[in-house]
Structure 1
Amino acid sequence: MTASARPGPPAVGLVGASGMVGSAAAAALRKLGVESIRLGARRIDGVRRVLADVLDGRGEIMAVNATDPVSLTRFCAGCQVVLNCAGPTYLLRDTVAVAAVAVGAHYIDVAGDDPAWEGMAARGLAGTDRAVVFSAGTLPGLSSILPRWLAATGFGRPTTLTAHVGGREPCSPVVATDMILSLSIGGADGAAFGEPLAAWRGGARRPRALRAASNAVAPFFPGPVGMTPFLSSETVRLARALGLDDVDWFNVYPGPAVHAEMQRMPGYAREPGTDLAEVGARLHRAAALDLVGRTPFYLMVFSMRGTPPDDAGTEIRRTLVLRTSSSYQLTGLVGALAARAALDGALPAGLHFACDVLDPHAVVREIREAGGSSLVEMHGYVRGADIGDDVVEEGAL
């Protein structure tokens, strides 16, 4: 362990600190004024690099195995907040959360989703006097926070939402594993994380309402792209919370190699004894191939329609576009914002999803101030845009 520059117990214990999300979260925490940080991961060398390169040597490091309750208890002890950036999410579930709550810490997870939430509730920990927050990342996380912000920008009642989300960026082994696991788990009550081709129609789920497409055009994405309609459990909660009549959600794949692998995913999930490591390696290689000679980017495009506050009958149409070079960086930032809010006593006790307790206006403000991303709101409903691959990749929206 390396002594912290500030004496006393750490304010935030960061599990999974050596990964792309964890190192981004460490940087964001420091920018948010958190000086006392404990960094943890299984491989201590990676944590040492983050301590030196990201935190200028100011902090603590400790080896921790996120699958070992004894190791987790030792790591979490003394922390005011535990921020989990480790995975795979659907294998860890609520393991880290249980250890954090047991030592009296607030808990933030950049993922977690329904299985972790349900696990904590089943253990009787839903009524804890600490804040336990899941889905504090990009997707899940901003995927519900940004539409809530958009709904608050002059709508009396939002009625429809169309989302196009995806990008061309590296695919970590952890993310790849979660992708295939999400085909069978990750949603509420033991269901899959979501349903391909489904949509939200008339305030209810409608299976096979939409079609997947190749060589398609998506607003603000460099075309052609692959698109898969997908209705996740998070999107269903969002639709219910905002009272939306209709939601169309499209996962967008600008890279042909990743799109091809994603089309094979259902087959992998059905095969008994599927080697998750091999599937992850396939996705990792596909993402690397799509990136050859190209600049990484990630886009979230939300188009919303609804009625004005005075219900005058005139339809309001607005679009929000977020563009970043890395969804991993955004996830680290959102996790750090939630951890900072917990430190400040700004989160209610108990079990929550981040979109229900983080102020969307504050999140949007922090994204704009953090740099590295552009976030633009426009009036009018954007049905499509061909603005050129070079424009998107260089970030001039």
Structure 2
Amino acid sequence: MSTPVIGVLGASGAVGRAAVRELRALGRTGLRLGGRTASALCAVAGEDPGGHDESVWADATAPDGLRAFTEGCDIVLNCVGPTYRLRATVAAAALAAGAHCVDVAGDDPAAEDLLKDGDPAREGRTVVLSAGALPGLSSLLPRWLAGQGLDTATALSAHCGGLETCSPTVARDLMLSLTSGGADGAAYGEALAAVRGGRRVPRALRTAEDTEHPAFPGRVALQPYLSGESERLAHVLGLDRLDWYNVHPGPAVRALLNRLPASLAAGDDPAALADRLILAADLDLAGRTPYYVMDFALSGTASGQPATAGLTLRAASSYRLTAAVGALSVDAVLRGAVPAGVHFACDVLDPRVVVRHLRSRGAAELRLTGTATAGSGPAGADADADVDMDVEEGVL
């Protein structure tokens, strides 16, 4: 059986380079590395000289170059953006070349574009979207947590954020997310909204500009934000309540984000604002160690009694987390573990596999806490092998 050709588009970027390493760790070799800078691609290929990787010039905004890159691939991993401008551009090119596709982003706009043009399942092709840290891991971890001793789950509180560099792609996507990124042409999410009674309720929460949270060092700002992914998560877990907070430890980034809606309304150039966001992130990071945290607190019942389960993930980089989820999605598709069609990664990846991979690769530290007894749930039997345990006595 021949080795499948895996095309990694954006292989020299922050996510792409890490994704190449994750794919190699999963035993995937002979990669096709795509990007716009030959020297950078050669440097990535040179990290594994025995892997026989191929470097190919490719630009997601150049149809001919994109077509040449995808031709002959069995699957394409897209690590380039801006996501909400490209939408399904890369996935469509991969499908036209007869290849599967995994996109570390894509989200609802890409799914809508793909299904509008006909379900790829008809041709036996698979597309996995939102295969990153957020969205992606942000829904996979709570699903894993729900299996750690809880019989039922009723409420989830999530706090995600950190202190790290801001890539140009992330900066541009943040600008676009204010007016796109969600389903049916809506914005990616809604500030201050939360889930109550199993449905979205606007302005249910308030921002805290200067506070503390035990999972984060120092003072932080907490911005309530409900995305479509979070709403789907609440539905899947059967939650009555869900509170989601984006956490901003850096004052420069937070100050710019506070001014962002007014700046855009005043006609400021989004590209210039994106550059300012990159600079603000660098200012906040100066002299400090980068980190990224995902903290989840889930409540429900265990053995008929009220119980809690908590999970805190700490990593040096959200970009590496995104790379890991993307690589695991590629591996799952090639193993035939994902059916044909268009899917979000959180719906088709096994959360247990993801958790084990993050810990075994040293991509993140994970700590499980709570009053539920790990091992009693459907995924809890191997919890000790997955995360550090700190189970509290009794029930709340």
When the two structures are superposed, what TM-score results if normalisation uses the length of structure 1?
0.91
Q: Distance in 2 between matches of 1:323 and 1:87?
A: 25
Whether the 8 Å CA contact 1:303–1:318 is kept in 2: the answer is yes
Deviations along 1:152-210, one digit per CA (max 9) or x if unpaired, are 11222210000000000000111000011101100011100000011111111110111
From 141, 164, 167, the equivalent of 1:172 is: 167
Report how far residue 10 of structure 1 moved: 5.2
Q: Distance in 2 between matches of 1:126 and 1:81?
A: 13
Partner residue in 1 for 2:276: 282
Q: Distance in 1 between matches of 2:50 and 2:297?
A: 41
Whether the 8 Å CA contact 1:144–1:355 is kept in 2: the answer is yes
Q: Distance in 2 between matches of 1:293 and 1:378?
A: 31
For the residue of structure 2 that corresponds to 1:209, the secondary structure is coil
Task: Map 1:115-154 onto structure 2 (within 5 A).
Answer: 115-128=109-122, 129-154=124-149
Structure 2 letter corresponding to 1:315? P
Partner residue in 2 for 1:249: 244
Partner residue in 2 for 1:391: none
Partner residue in 2 for 1:361: 352
1:189 equivalent in alignment to 2:184: yes
Report how far residue 30 of structure 1 moved: 0.4
Structure 2 letter corresponding to 1:368? R
> Which consecutive residues of structure 2, in runs of 5 or more, have no partner in the other structure?
373-389, 391-396
Whether the 8 Å CA contact 1:26–1:54 is kept in 2: the answer is no
Change (3 A) 1:341 1:55: farther
Q: Distance in 2 between matches of 1:94 and 1:250?
A: 28
Q: Distance in 2 between matches of 1:177 and 1:55?
A: 34
From 337, 343, 346, the equivalent of 1:346 is: 337
For the residue of structure 2 that corresponds to 1:49, the secondary structure is helix
1:328 equivalent in alignment to 2:319: yes
Change (3 A) 1:56 1:86: farther
Partner residue in 1 for 2:93: 99
Partner residue in 1 for 2:78: 84
Report how far residue 237 of structure 1 moved: 0.9
Q: Distance in 1 between matches of 2:48 and 2:318?
A: 18
Task: Map 1:284-323 onto structure 2 (within 5 A).
Answer: 284-308=278-302, 310=303, 312=304, 314-323=305-314
Q: Distance in 2 between matches of 1:126 and 1:82?
A: 14
Whether the 8 Å CA contact 1:10–1:78 is kept in 2: the answer is no
The percent of aligned pairs where both chains have the same amino acid is 52
Partner residue in 2 for 1:67: 61
1:224 equivalent in alignment to 2:215: no
Whether the 8 Å CA contact 2:314–2:365 is kept in 1: the answer is yes
Q: Distance in 2 between matches of 1:134 and 1:154?
A: 29
Q: Distance in 1 between matches of 2:239 and 2:39?
A: 48
Q: Distance in 1 between matches of 2:130 and 2:227?
A: 13
> Which consecutive residues of structure 1, in runs of 5 or more, have no partner in the other structure?
1-6, 382-396
When the two structures are superposed, what TM-score results if normalisation uses the length of structure 2?
0.91
Q: Distance in 1 between matches of 2:363 and 2:344?
A: 25
For the residue of structure 1 that corresponds to 2:144, the secondary structure is helix
Report how far residue 69 of structure 1 moved: 2.4
Change (3 A) 1:117 1:55: farther
